[in-house]
Structure 1
Amino acid sequence: MFLGRIARHLREQNWFALAAEFVIVVVGVFLGLQAANWNEERQERKDEAVILARLQDETATLLEAVREEREVLQTRVDLFASAKNVIFTSTEARSLTPPECSAVAGSHVYRRESDQLPILEELLSTGRFDRLKDEEIKVLLRRYILFRDRQRANHEERTNELFRLYSRHPETIRIALVPRGTDTDIDWGFMKYEDTRWVPQCNVERMRSNRQFLNELFDNMGRNGHVLLGYEEREELLIEIQQRLEEILGS
């Protein structure tokens, strides 16, 4: 139909009508493209709002987990500090408390810190990271990605060649099966029984006289400070992200 009108205008040499037809077509195409662009932009803004809301929720959840893990690690560091004053000094020996002995026996255990923001992984895998229009939040998220990857590499290095002391030095740390006193007694390890429980028993005198044990315990314990610094930096960065999201979302 359109081509028929064009042909008729050409035969009749009606240049004004011909120009009008082209203008109508061009304007129609332009308006159609503009409407499509407006719709796409509207969908992107809706998607961005969902992304920001999920980022806010997941950042808050991760921040809570990081603080809980940091508190547990700080307790462990404090136990190491009190135990080292007994094991590494020449003052009169005393027995380690059960928590101190447990910390020494498990000094080889380093679990990787919580670091996942699922929506961030989703944005990276689907190529939607640039849906975020706020440059400041994008900079903060890029910083978090770099920090997270660096800390994961640090964890791999940190957990290489840790010493399982109760296996290497059974004369200093004995894993014993003892009667269970109350339901609140702590079970050491992953095996639990109704009437008995596993506990490490530490011989301070043998620890003090075993230079290899002392060096290996020092090696195990010495990595905690670096882990704590990582927790502090992660918490600060998550707080920055959270604060910027609150500013964007007005909450």
Structure 2
Amino acid sequence: MAEGKAPVFLNRIAAHLRDQNWFALVAEFLIVVSGVFLGLQAANWKEARQEREDEAKILTRLQAETGTLLEAVRQERAGLQARADLYVQAQDVIYTSANPRELTPEECNVFAASHIHRLAADQLPIVEELLATGRFDRLKDESVKSQLRRYILFRDRERANHEERTNELFRLYSRHPDAIEIAALPRMADTELDWGFLNNPDLRFAPQCNVEEMRANQQFLNELFDNMGRNGHVLVGYEKREAILVELQQRLDELLKS
């Protein structure tokens, strides 16, 4: 009740009491109670509408960010799969005598870079924002909330796995220079492999692999196997991440189309 109207209301109540006008007194109370109730209802409706509008914005943004992340995950996974395919393609050359030949430049390169494992794309900024601002429960769909909790748990576990996975890697060209040499080669075309990034117009730097030295060095073979195995574990993680994001995206599409 407005401050200026309170004395007027109280004066009317006092007058009804003096006159013992019970009907008017009850009517006054009913009017006041109805006004308070309607005011609270209006405030609740407004708040509920704002929450629905906020949830719709959250879902729209979450759908867009999930799509962007899913595209990045698929691109990174494709790169890892290409590495894995080259590993498989060259294993007979290194570990058996079934396919005696030199390594291709692509195979040699993937062996030389087998220690490189970058942190996977995993960010959904809207989720971090919701958790930081306490608005996670603005999401009313339990399926979406459950999938997001599942993704957060998976993401945190994979980040810990990455730290462990990269704690002790074997940089093979440094540890076994007789097996893999980083050589300065004449530059013939801009499309050739170049590790130097030095913009030298005449020279490029690229790994050169000695298959005989690789095959004769058991320590090299063991360390290469370790690096290849880590790539396989990372690839499995990407497959799981993609599956979780696809499921989340499908549910978001359903909600936003309804």
Unaligned runs of 5+ in 2: 1-7
Q: Secondary structure at the match of 1:71?
A: helix
Match of 2:53 in 1: 46
What is the TM-score normalised by the length of structure 2?
Answer: 0.92
Q: CA deviation at 1:15?
A: 2.5
What is the alpha-carbon distance in structure 1 between the residues aligned to residue 36 and residue 137 of structure 2? 28
Match of 1:247 in 2: 254
Unaligned runs of 5+ in 1: none
Q: Is residue 2:94 matched to residue 1:87? A: yes
Match of 2:3 in 1: none
Match of 1:208 in 2: 215
How many residue pairs match? The answer is 251
What is the alpha-carbon distance in structure 2 between the residues aligned to residue 116 and residue 187 of structure 1? 31
Q: Is residue 2:152 matched to residue 1:145? A: yes
Match of 1:195 in 2: 202
What is the letter of the counterpart of residue 149 of structure 1?
A: D
Q: CA deviation at 1:112?
A: 1.3
What is the TM-score normalised by the length of structure 1?
Answer: 0.94
Q: Is residue 2:177 matched to residue 1:170? A: yes
Q: CA deviation at 1:195?
A: 2.6
Q: Secondary structure at the match of 1:113?
A: coil
Give the RMSD, CA atoms, in angstroms.
Answer: 1.6
| Match 1:18 to one of 17, 25, 34 | 25
Contact residue 196 and residue 204 of structure 2 kept, 8 A: no
Match of 1:65 in 2: 72
- The percentage of counterpart residues that share the same residue type is 71
Q: CA deviation at 1:16?
A: 2.3
Q: Secondary structure at the match of 1:201?
A: strand
Contact residue 93 and residue 204 of structure 1 kept, 8 A: no
Q: CA deviation at 1:7?
A: 2.4
Contact residue 188 and residue 199 of structure 1 kept, 8 A: yes
Q: CA deviation at 1:91?
A: 4.3
Q: Secondary structure at the match of 1:218?
A: helix
Please list the CA deviations of residues 157-209 of structure 1 after superposition, one character each: whole Å capped at 9, or x if unmatched: 11110111111111211111212111211222544433321101111111111
What is the alpha-carbon distance in structure 1 between the residues aligned to residue 171 and residue 81 of structure 2? 21
What is the alpha-carbon distance in structure 1 between the residues aligned to residue 253 and residue 153 of structure 2? 23
